[in-house]
Structure 1
Amino acid sequence: MGLLATPAGAGAAPELPPVSPEDLVSSVIAARHEPFAGTVELDNALGLPPLPQLPQAADGTSTARVWSGGEHQGRLSLPTAQGERTIVTDGTTLWSWDSADRTVTRRPIGERQEARAATDPTAAATQAIEMLRSTSAVTVDGTAEVAGRPAYELVLAPAPTERTLLREVRIAVDAEKRMPLRFSVLATGSAEPALQVGFTDLTFGAQDPSLFTFTPPPGATVTAAEPKSTSPAPGAPATSGGPTVVGDGWDTVVIAKAPAEGRESPDLSSLGTPVSGSWGSGRLITTAVATAIVTDDGRIAAGAVPEQVLTEALST
């Protein structure tokens, strides 16, 4: 937990010109995504049980290399116990390569933000700002140095009416580029992040175009996957098997078809505790900052909310 209290890549607080929360938020959303290369470190204290298919979800620290070619091109390389997992996108196709079992998954890009979200772990920070700004108290809490770059500390805290497990999210925003450098999620009652992802080194500049192309290695097993469903607006019914979003802001609940057990989908049937209600029955899985119910009829409801909010969403 000491790594969470003092993030890697952090230094003395730099002196920066004052900026209002509104201007900082607007500049992050409007920022141009420039090419870069860097190392990202994930500190995880969620308390998830071990999942063989998702070893990176276990508590502890993991590191990944990240490259961006700009708006829609990206590459992420994540070492694993047996080898390396690589995700590559050229903006139209997303490739996932697992060197341990020599398998490749190819999927068309469904949404504009999907390419960046799949290959840049800090992209979640921008998504959080867009999703939470209207239901949050937004402040600028000083400055920080992350990966050797000066940054503003943007803080979003839930409004009193929000039913959530979260106390706040903190986002270190690059003072020059307005790109999120570090994203920290803090649970209610905790002074340290339950989840933190941030750059430990970062260099902006043009990248080798070959980084964003992928050719399956000889002998690899290639599987074609369907594009991800477009995310509906809050309250909208699921379309074509896609998710349903109930609520908005901090107490948003997403209800979707539970993933079939497979190489990239963990077996959730043995996790959590049995629960039931007017919505049916299933298993409740809890972490420091999120709750999920996997129903016996094949649905999964999840959000950064207490159990009651999930069961209400399942009952609608």
Structure 2
Amino acid sequence: MAPNETDDRTTAGEAEEPRAGRRKAARYVVPVTVLGVAAATIGLVPALADSGDPDLPDITAAQLVEKIAQSDVERLSGTVKITTDLGLPNLGGLESGLLSGAAGGEGGSSADPSGRLTELASGTHTLRVAADGPDRQKLSLLENAAEYSLIHNGKDVWGYDSASNEVYHATVDEADAKERSRQQPPATPKDFAEEALKAVDDTTSVKVDGTAQVAGRDAYRLVVGPKQSGSTVGAVSIAVDSETGMPLKFTLTPSSGGSAVVDVGFTKVSFDRPDASTFDFTPPKGAKVTEDTERGRGHGDFGTKPERGPKSEEDLAKGLDGLRMLGEGWNTVAAFDTGAGAGLPTEEEIGGDLGGFLGSLGDQVKGDFGKGTVFSTRLVNALVTEDGKVYVGTVTKDALVKAAEAGK
């Protein structure tokens, strides 16, 4: 009989234990930054690639969260499938160009990971991943007729784009290597699961909902979601390997229904040590090599920009005028002032039809805050008011407008 917990007892008493467990989750080998205000999310593959309901011992939600937190897998290799269905408007391919071009900058290398990994923000992708402890990881993005690889081997970080035959290289010291392990872009179910488990509090429902088999492994199914109404998040489902405690699949479904917004899962996985040659790299003959010493020394995160992300709300507030967090739990809304003193530029201010075009992408709203425009995806909504205030959260449009009125 598959284990099944459906009552809220796992969310009040047992959720106290997950809090301690999620602090330990910071030890993950391939950690994450997932879904900030403008984050990339990953979409629909079948909900849990379920090929059977293995008969596993009963386990409570608290025990399963603790099992994830205590997972100490440092060596693995496998194939991960990732798809994005954020529900962004179709801009005729413009959004893909903006994503890939913004990070690399004009004249930058096509092998720069800060540009290439933004491709995971849209479409369907297949990744090959490998890890051998904190000093060796490899991620390869497989394309139709080409491959992009990002390799960390000791002090060296290499990016290679086979389509352009370009190479990116940075070196990192020990401190950077540790920082990198906390800031690598999300690529595996474990990456996404860590962030989801940080949301476990009194506003969260946590339960075990049966079992599944993923990538040939027996797994428990952990379901996490908001108790309150108003969130765009319906539920987060995590398939947890019954032996190692490592998440094998992560699926986020929206409260509005339909296909998943986030789904990332192993199709193949092995916990044997990868061959050492997996992490070897020598620039191919004739390749253009870009040395990035500025990012590599003191800023050499595994594919990130030199500027560190904010470590706390206080740090973020230094870069945003009067950052405030409104509401609680899954209905939290970030509010800040752009400092511009005005909302979206008008057609007259910027010339042409761009002002009108930007406005057409959103819904016009009004309230105690005045007038504004709400820009919506299937997960994240943002309200820009006429006086330059911004409210952002994984909440519905109505909840966002109410939060803006309450926070005025």
TM-score, normalised to structure 2, is 0.60
Query: Match of 1:127, as an amino acid?
Result: E
Tell me the distance in 2 between the aligned counterparts of 1:64 and 1:36: 14
Where is the strand percentage greater, Structure 1 or Structure 2?
1
CA distance in 2, matches of 1:143, 1:21: 13
3-state SS of paired residue (2:138): strand
Number of the residue aligned with 2:308 = 228
**In the alignment, which residue of structure 2 is the partner of 1:33?**
73
Contact 2:335–2:391 under 8 Å retained in 1: yes
| Counterpart in the other structure of 1:264 | none
- Of 197, 201, 208, the match for 1:140: 208
TM-score (norm 1): 0.75
Aligned to 2:396: 306
Q: CA separation in 1, counterparts of 2:335 and 2:152?
A: 27
Equivalent AA in structure 2 for residue 26 of structure 1 = E
Counterpart position of 1:265: none
Q: Answer 1 or 2: which has greater helix percent.
A: 2
Aligned length: 299
Q: Which amino acid aligns with 2:73?
A: H
Q: Percent identity?
A: 30
AA matched with 2:220? Y
Q: Distance in 2 between matches of 1:93 and 1:295?
A: 45
The 1:83–1:134 alpha-carbon spacing in structure 2 relative to 1, beyond 3 Å, is farther
Larger radius of gyration: 2
Q: Deviations over 1:154-211 (max 9, x none)?
A: 0012022x63111111000110111111111111142642321100010002123454
1:47 to 77, 87, 101: 87
How far is 1:257 from its partner?
A: 11
* 1:87 maps to amino acid: L
Quick one: which amino acid aligns to residue 127 of structure 2?
A
Equivalent residues in 2 for 1:1-316 (5 A)? Answer: 4-5=45-46, 7-8=48-49, 10-48=50-88, 49=90, 50=93, 51-53=95-97, 54=99, 55-59=119-123, 61-71=124-134, 73-80=136-143, 83-90=146-153, 96-101=159-164, 102=166, 104=168, 106=170, 108=176, 110=179, 112-115=181-184, 117-120=185-188, 122-160=190-228, 163-190=230-257, 192-212=259-279, 218-223=287-292, 224=295, 225-233=305-313, 236-238=314-316, 241=319, 246=325, 249-253=329-333, 272-273=361-362, 284-292=374-382, 302-307=392-397, 312=403
* 3-state secondary structure, aligned to 1:22: helix
Cα shift at 1:306: 2.4
Gaps of 5+ in 2: 1-43, 100-118, 296-304, 339-353
Q: Distance in 2 between matches of 1:301 and 1:95?
A: 38
CA distance, structure 1, for counterparts of residue 393 and residue 215 of structure 2:
31
Q: Distance in 1 between matches of 2:386 and 2:277?
A: 45
Structure 1 pair 193–297 and aligned structure 2 pair: CA distance change class (3 A)? same
CA contact 2:188–2:264 (8 Å) conserved in 1: no
Give the distance between the partners of 1:257 and 1:215, measured in 2 at CA.
47
Contact 2:310/2:316, CA 8 A, preserved across alignment: no
Supply the AA of the counterpart residue of 2:192: A
CA distance in 1, matches of 2:370, 2:158: 37
Q: 1:17 to 1:182 in 2, by over 3 A?
A: same
CA distance in 2, matches of 1:298, 1:92: 44
How far apart, CA to CA, are the structure 1 residues paired with 2:193 and 2:275?
Answer: 26
Aligned-residue RMSD, C-alpha:
4.1
